[in-house]
Structure 1
Amino acid sequence: MLRYLGIAAWIVFLWFLFRLVDALVRWLSLRMTRRARYQSASVIVFARRVIKAGLLVLGALGILDTLGFDVTAGVAALGIGGLVLALGAQKTVENVVGTVSVLADRPVQVGDVCKVGDVLGTIEDIGMRSTRIRTLERTVVTIPNGDFSSRQIENYTKRERFLFNETIGLEYALDAAKLREGIGLIEEALAQNEHIAPEPRRATLRYFATDSLAIETFAYIMTADFDESLRIRNDLMLDIYERLEQAGIGFAFPTQTLYLRKDETGQR
């Protein structure tokens, strides 16, 4: 009679734990969904299955022990079987651990534009085993999460502004005064553009190139949207071009200067 009561107690205990796990998973999943953390919600659902499987094994051992069976050998067998399974599924376990690492650290999310190793594209899905990236060529690259979490990840979506760092080549025919005027016009174009951050912001004579006077610009475009940054960059470049053109300051282009020397020795 006591054995049957013990079995009933184990069943009720397991039922209670199952309901508790389900309630916690529903609560956590709802919170993650409200925060748009869908990857975290999927991990929680996966964790529920693992926990329930562990509870079933624990309950089975408890019931067998209640019935008088020696569960020591069973526990040892489970340990050996688990070791064999872990060795056989080493890559799978590595990918699952990688998934947990990616979702916990959150270096990327679905929809982010990033560079993972040498792969550049948009994150389409973060699964339990692998992550899919849609490249600029519209192909899909699948990276196992164990490998994904160990690679260098550069997230372009996370940046809050874009660098404007162009080199403008002016012709060597300019005198020093005209060169200073050209640099001033470029600085003026940067300063009067409302989308350019006030600091850092500069235009300087960087070096004497083979066929041009190299003026380097350094500033930040204050937008997080890639398409908008291209439009602002385009308008700024045209503004610089128009200012220099109106001032009569020419742009350099590849040239060669040929020096001819007359041989005055003559022939005898």
Structure 2
Amino acid sequence: MIHKLFLLSFFLLAFITISNAQLITEEEDLEQVGEGVNLSSPYHTTLTFFYNLERDHFFPKRASRTLDKRGVEGNAEELVIKLQQIFEGKGIVVRTSEIPNDPNYVDSTDNAEKKFYFDRDKLPGIYLEKRGSQWRFSSFSVGQIDALHKETYPFGTDRLLNILPKIGNQEYLGLQLWQLVGIGILVLLTFLAHFLFTFLVDKGLIYLMRRLGYGYIGENYLLPIAKICSFYLIVILLSLLIRVLQLPVEIYAWIVPIIETLKPFLITVIFYKIVDVVAAYFAKLASKTESTLDDQLVPLIRKTLKAFVIIVGTLFILRDGLDLDIIPFLTGLSIGGLAIALAAQDTIKNFFGSVMIFIDKPFQVGDWITSGEIDGTVEEVGFRSSRVRTPRNSVMYVPNGKIADAVIDNHGLRQYRRYTTNLTLTYDTPPALIEEFVKGLREIVLVHPKTRKDFFTIYFNNLSSYSQDVLFTIFFEVPTLPDELQARHEILVQVVKLARALGVRFAFPTQTLHMESFPEKKGLEQTYPESQEFQARLNQFLAQELTKKEDNKED
């Protein structure tokens, strides 16, 4: 135990000694730079550049000697100040402890040339290059300073760098007076911009949409998008003006990622809201079509577009906001996607099955379909499965891959719905009465508004063991099962009325014992009038029913 404590104490003492040695070395380097200019290594050149541009030690003339101005026009002192402003505006933190102190340093990633890059991603054109025995900012880098400065401070914001410092350089809370005043002005501009934009949207856009008759769309769809756009414009305003404040790089290095993350995040939210507008437009188009499958497709399109927006937005947030390289992520995602695809073959099959359903449209929501064990009314079609309501009022969830491969009998696409039955008449019904009864049935079908008039089958069809059968087959021109049942009800009520009017009796399975009748007693058999009476009764029935039909039409 004592031995371990001794070793630990030894390593701590060695670490403190090395740290103090590095601090002493850096202080000596600063003293050497303060006396002159040291360009012997990337480390000393960087130290010379930043040290001579500090607020308490501002010697731009010395710092300008770090520039290689061969072939480049312009004031060296102005260029060196602009270069420092570029570093601060880009939020690049330069740690001298990470800069090589080797006079013969070689960049292995750039053809083994004697160059040193500060940040290849943010400042790919700014690098130190060794010429002779000195390291300086290359002439190419110096030639890029003016363009990079305008890019860092666009729309004339670079002029504020010369105006704001004139307010005062007194320090409060670690910041100069002009920086504190600039922060206050920036906060005020932010609130004013948000207030102005909100006022224009609420009073201008909504008023205009109401005048055009689209007030609901403006309030429920465009107004949320406009508010997010106002936040996005505020973030853009902040990103432009906050660079002018020349905040300490350590602070600004934290602000830049936040602002760069907010930009793609807010754009993602804007497009996420726009999807609702697009979905509402598609829903309006779908409502004009007869197919109910289009109405079911709209929510699926909305969910798919929103998922796509979230995925793309996340990639941009990772790339622009968090400064991550998404290429390896996409590569890994493609490889992982292949593995997932192999493991989820059934899910992919069901997905493409749903696509085929929406393309071919073998049925739509509300149709009655049968296919093997599937029997019921379609209630919903999803990306993976469809929901079918069975006659037992239970719900079947059927994979779309199975539906796409199956033979489907779609009763909902029928133009006509057939109804067939046998009207059984007692054996004592005279032939003449049967003739008049059949004529009456045909007239009932011709008069009903929801029956097919050009094709039906009503004939005296069979002699069964206990009845004389009339085949009654008709077709209804109705869209749904409830409409069909209502039409059946109306037809059968008319059939019963016709039978009562003519005196027709319906047979049912019975056994009849016939006894010989005596002269003084009447038999049990039904007696019927002459055939002329049957025809008169039929004409009277049809006249009464037709009169009712005409009265209903007039009402």
Work out whether the TM-score is over 0.5. Answer: yes
The CA deviation string for residues 237-256 of structure 1, in whole angstroms up to 9 with x for no partner, is: 12222222332332222134
Q: 5+ unaligned residues in a row in structure 1: which ranges?
A: 7-14, 61-66, 260-268
2:417 maps to 1:162: yes
Shift of 1:203: 0.9
| TM-score, scaled relative to structure 1 | 0.68
The structure richer in strand per residue is 1
Task: Quote the Cα distance in structure 2 between the aligned partners of 1:187 and 1:171.
Answer: 20
CA offsets, 1:160-198, max 9 Å, x none?
543232211122223433332322222232233333332
Residue 247 (structure 1) aligns with: 502
How many residues get paired?
A: 246
Which residue of 289, 297, 303 maps to 1:40?
Answer: 297
Alignment-mate amino acid for residue 439 of structure 2: G
Q: Is 1:198 aligned to 2:478, yes or no?
A: no
Cα distance, 1:157 vs structure 2: 4.0
User: How far 1:87 moved relative to its partner?
Assistant: 1.3
The answer for the alignment partner of 1:114 in structure 2 is: 368
Aligned to 2:129: none
TM superposition shift of 1:78: 6.4
**Aligned pair in 2 of structure 1 residues 235, 23: CA closer, same or farther (>3 Å)?**
closer
Q: Does 1:124 align with 2:375?
A: no
Distance verdict in 2 for CA 1:45–1:232, change over 3 Å: closer
1:79 and 1:147 mapped to 2: Cα distance?
A: 28
Higher radius of gyration, 1 or 2: 2
Residues 189, 170 of structure 1: CA spacing in aligned structure 2 closer, same or farther, 3 A cutoff? same
Q: Is the 8 A contact 1:203 1:218 kept in 2?
A: yes
Correspondence 1:1-268 to 2 at 5 A: 29-34=279-284, 35-36=286-287, 37-45=294-302, 47-48=304-305, 49=307, 81-110=336-365, 112-117=366-371, 118-256=373-511
Q: Which residue does the alignment assign to 1:10?
A: none
Q: Following TM superposition, by how much is the alpha carbon of 1:89 offset from its aligned partner in structure 2, in angstroms? A: 0.8
Q: Kindly report the root-mean-square deviation, in angstroms, between the aligned alpha carbons of the 2 structures.
A: 4.3
Contact 1:115 1:153 in 2 (8 A): yes
Percent identity (aligned): 23
Mean alpha-carbon deviation: is it higher for 42-51 or for 88-97? 42-51
Structure 2 letter corresponding to 1:218: T
- 1-structure distance, mates of 2:440, 2:504: 10
C-alpha separation in 2, matches of 1:28 and 1:152:
35
| Distance (Å, rounded) in 2 between the aligned partners of 1:174 and 1:242 | 17
Larger fraction in helix: 2
Please, what TM-score do these two structures have when normalized by structure 2? 0.37
C-alpha deviation, 1:54, in angstroms: 8.5
What is the alpha-carbon distance in structure 2 between the residues aligned to residue 5 and residue 130 of structure 1? 52
Q: Distance in 2 between matches of 1:170 and 1:116?
A: 35
Higher RCO (CA-CA < 8 Å; seq separation 6+):
1
Contact 2:369 2:378 survives alignment (8 Å)? no
CA distance in 2, matches of 1:225, 1:116: 15
Q: Distance in 1 between matches of 2:480 and 2:429?
A: 38
**Partner Cα separation in structure 2 for residue 124 and residue 33 of structure 1:** 18
Q: In 1, Cα distance between the equivalents of 2:383 and 2:413?
A: 24
**Is 1:28–1:41's contact at 8 Å kept on the other side of the alignment?**
no
Partner of 2:226: none
Out of 217-226 and 164-173, give the one that drifted further.
Answer: 217-226
Q: Which amino acid aligns with 2:296?
A: Q
SS of residue in 1 equivalent to 2:500: helix
Distance 1:50 1:116, change over 3 A: farther
Supply the AA of the counterpart residue of 1:94: K
